[in-house]
Chains A and B, each alone.
Chain A
Amino acid sequence: MALQHQQAVAPIEQTSSAWLLEISGGLTVAVAAQDVIYVYPEAPRVFPIPQTPAHVPGVVIWQKHLVPIIDLGIYLRLQQAEDYGRSIKMMVLLNLGDSRLGGMALEQIPERAEVADSSQCELPDNLQAWGCLAPSCFMHNTRGAVPIIDLNAVFGSKLSPGGLAE
């Protein structure tokens, strides 16, 4: 009985639920599970707004609200805006807090994941420009290093091309 008890109390590592979002350019980022409030089953109608940054294809109307859309792949120059043609394949609606919403253009349907604290890692050298947008990063068993993005930094800042928030 004593041996069985020791086996039963083997520590179980705590994990946090997240969504894995594949942005244009093929990179995967993560957000907390509760940040995704809606996955569009098909690309919504996007209304372009003139004189806005290339990584902002426009806005969508969601429940009588206007929601800005961001394409992080274009912002980080993983994808050219010209090649992209401003067509969105997939999109998620994100909760930014304080009743604010933002939309993010994606390449694939989001995937759920459980992230263990022990999987935390440093941002790889090629993602150092993400520093202000992704305060943390974890190692995924198939996708490699996945930055966990700060949605308020992405949507609440005037972003300079190449990964710097002002």
Chain B
Amino acid sequence: MMSQDNGQRADQLLAVMNFAGLRLAVPLAEVHSLVSVLDLDNSQAGASDVARVEVNGRELPAFGFDADLNTLRSVPDDYRVCANLGADSAELGILCESIETLQQPVSEEALPPCMYTDRSIVKGLALNNDEILLCTNLAALAEHTSTRVEPSVEHCLLSREAN
């Protein structure tokens, strides 16, 4: 991004998850494994995760996002893949319709300060030919999914304060 020369990051290989019309990219090095959503356990979902995925004997939370990057409460029919993210070992899963690896390294640039919000998992943007990729990473996803306050809980807290 020309407006963010100072935020230029090194070219890296990206994996791009497709869902709800979005293209969300993560570093390829952070993609641990892929599984089908048919292998997920929906019965053990927590407060914010939509399902559980077992990776190497460990049960991990799996999350899905809609077009506004809000977390989903159920798995849409067209979300067929769970991308397990983690460097050495998987830490969480992200549901998507499909995932692909870009053949060429792409230059990601930090999100401009004027576009930044605390709640955003989008940490950068990248131009791949004529398409715009939303860039995130495992750390941002882990932080977002662990700190997210459920709307119902937030409502209760506000109601309690009001009383």
Contact = CB atoms under 8 A, between A and B. Distances in A.
A100 B2 contact: yes
A64 B127 contact: yes
B70 to A, nearest CB: 9
Contact of A62 (B2, B125, B132): B2
Contact of B113 (A64, A66, A158): A158
A52 B3 contact: no
B114 A70 contact: yes
Given A157-B113, A159-B114, A47 B1 contact: no
A36 interface: no
B130 interface: yes
Contact of B114 (A68, A99, A101): A68
A52 B117 contact: yes
A133 to B, nearest CB: 11
Contact of A100 (B3, B67, B117): B3
A100 B132 contact: no
Given A66-B132, A98-B5, A51 B114 contact: no
Contact of B134 (A50, A101, A156): A50
Interface in A126-166: 154-159
Contacts of A101: 2-3
A68 B112 contact: yes
Contacts of A96: 3
**Which residue among B3, B5, B22, B134 has the maximum number of chain A CB atoms within 10 Å of its CB?**
B3
Contacts of B130: 61
A98 B7 CA distance: 12
Contacts of A98: 5-6
B118 to A, nearest CB: 9
Interface in A80-134: 96, 98-102
A94 to B, nearest CB: 9
A142 B112 CA distance: 35
A66 B1 contact: yes
Contacts of A68: 1, 3, 112, 114-115
B68 interface: yes
B100 to A, nearest CB: 20
Interface in B84-130: 109, 111-117, 119-122, 125, 127, 130
A49 B120 CA distance: 10
Given A65-B127, A66-B132, 7 more contacts: A50-B67, A51-B119, A52-B117, A68-B1, A100-B5, A102-B3, A155-B3
9 contacts: A52-B111, A52-B115, A59-B132, A66-B125, A100-B4, A157-B113, A157-B114, A158-B113, A158-B116
Interface of B: 1-6, 22, 67-69, 109, 111-117, 119-122, 125, 127, 130, 132, 134
Across the A-B interface, give the 4 residue pairs with the lowest CB-CB distance, nearest first. A65-B2, A51-B120, A66-B1, A100-B3
